[in-house]
Amino acid sequence: MGAVSTADPAWRELDSGACSIARTLAVIGEPWTVLVLRDLLNGVRRFDELVDHLGIARNVLTRRLATLVDAGLVETREYREPGRRARHEYRPTPAGRDLRPVLLALMAYGDRHHAGPDGPPAVVEHDCGAPVEVREVCAEGHVLTPTDRVRTRPGPGSRRRVGAGGSAG
Amino acid sequence: MGAVSTADPAWRELDSGACSIARTLAVIGEPWTVLVLRDLLNGVRRFDELVDHLGIARNVLTRRLATLVDAGLVETREYREPGRRARHEYRPTPAGRDLRPVLLALMAYGDRHHAGPDGPPAVVEHDCGAPVEVREVCAEGHVLTPTDRVRTRPGPGSRRRVGAGGSAG
């Protein structure tokens, strides 16, 4: 309510584009791209299966898969069914698999805020059979709750904004 | 390589839209929306400050903030600077704060795959001063590595697909 803004001065002086969130969104921020990756991580790997399961237009899927392949998140592999010509299926690369925590965090949020009375649409289980969740943990071993405060500090790859410190009122 | 697709049959039979990832992306999948939320969580809360820090067009920011307010992720609060008319600032709601693990997971991915030789642009610290990360942990206490396998199972709110089991080849 007060007249004083609480923006972290360090954050405000940082170049908004030199940001790992922005850089990742540049690849996967488009919703279909994330959902294609979700299905690939769940083992849906063939073009016609993806069209069928996602209900996505074929030309849109072609473009989204090309984006994912160009970004190094997905690779193609040839397969051949008896009596038919060779075709490709799409598999997540190790880099693509590294996005699993992003999808699990999106899922946890949706489970909590958009699931409705029936509960979560799906449960992700570890190989041991127990459900998997994402947790915020600090290097000292504290498990954070949503109300715990965090601070964003410049990292080694930060860029100071051109003109930072000048214009903000 | 083989002709057998490895899609989890349970996943393939589920309605692709009854998914907490899809539902969350329907709100925050648009990249600017996520970056506006990122700046709000970092304490940048005034319209002109957001325009300045994000380099976003005013009309686009107006629409993105309206989306976030409508979705219950952001609320407005009045403030008044001496001698000026009352204005609004934008603050994340508790629901908006619940998206922090999504942003931290995006950030961790970008730090790993897009940071370049200088290293991460920013570091998020807990109140105790130690850096924060997101971890995949199962209910049995196992901390997962990216190569650990997971399975997606139908949850209580799953919807079976219309025609599931019929068309897939």
Q: Per-block average pLDDT, block size 10, for chain A (169 residues)? A: 59 84 87 93 93 94 95 94 91 96 95 90 93 96 92 89 55
Residue B136 corresponds to which tokens in the numbers above? 């995949």
Contacts of B7 in chain A (CB under 8 A): 42-45, 49
Domain assignment present for residue B115? The answer is: no
Structural contact between residues B36 and A21, judged by C-beta atoms closer than 8 angstroms: no
Return the residue of B nearest to A164 by Cα: B53
Block residue for tokens 């600032």: B89
State whether B23 and A89 contact (CB < 8 Å).
no
Domain assignment present for residue A111? The answer is: no
Q: What pLDDT digit, counting tens, does each position of A140-165 carry?
A: 999 999 889 999 988 999 888 876 55
pLDDT band at B1 (very low <50, low <70, confident <90, very high): very low
Domain assignment present for residue A63? The answer is: yes
What is the tally of structural domains in chain B? 1
Domain assignment present for residue B83? The answer is: yes
Cβ-nearest to A34 among B3, B25, B49: B25
Domain assignment present for residue A4? The answer is: no
Domain assignment present for residue A162? The answer is: no
ipTM above 0.85, yes or no: yes
State whether B138 and A149 contact (CB < 8 Å).
no
Structural contact between residues B80 and B87, judged by C-beta atoms closer than 8 angstroms: yes
Contacts of A153 in chain B (CB under 8 A): 122-125
Is residue B137 scored above 90 in pLDDT? yes
* CB atoms inside a 10 Å sphere around CB A130: 14
**Cα distances (angstroms) measured from residue B125 to each of A86, A142, B92, B95, B133:** 51, 11, 19, 21, 9
Element (H, E) at B141: none
Nearest one of A28, A34, A30, A48 to A90, comparing CA atoms: A48
Q: How far is B75 from chain A (nearest CA, A)?
A: 12
Instruction: Give the residue numbers spanning the domain of A73.
Output: 14-93
Is residue B69 scored above 60 in pLDDT? yes
* CATH code, domain with A74: 1.10.10.10
Domain assignment present for residue A158? The answer is: no
Domain assignment present for residue B134? The answer is: no
Cβ-nearest to B31 among A25, A35, A122: A25
Residue A149 corresponds to which tokens in the numbers above? 């405060």
Q: What pLDDT digit, counting tens, does each position of B124-134 carry?
A: 999 999 999 99
The pLDDT of residue B129: 93
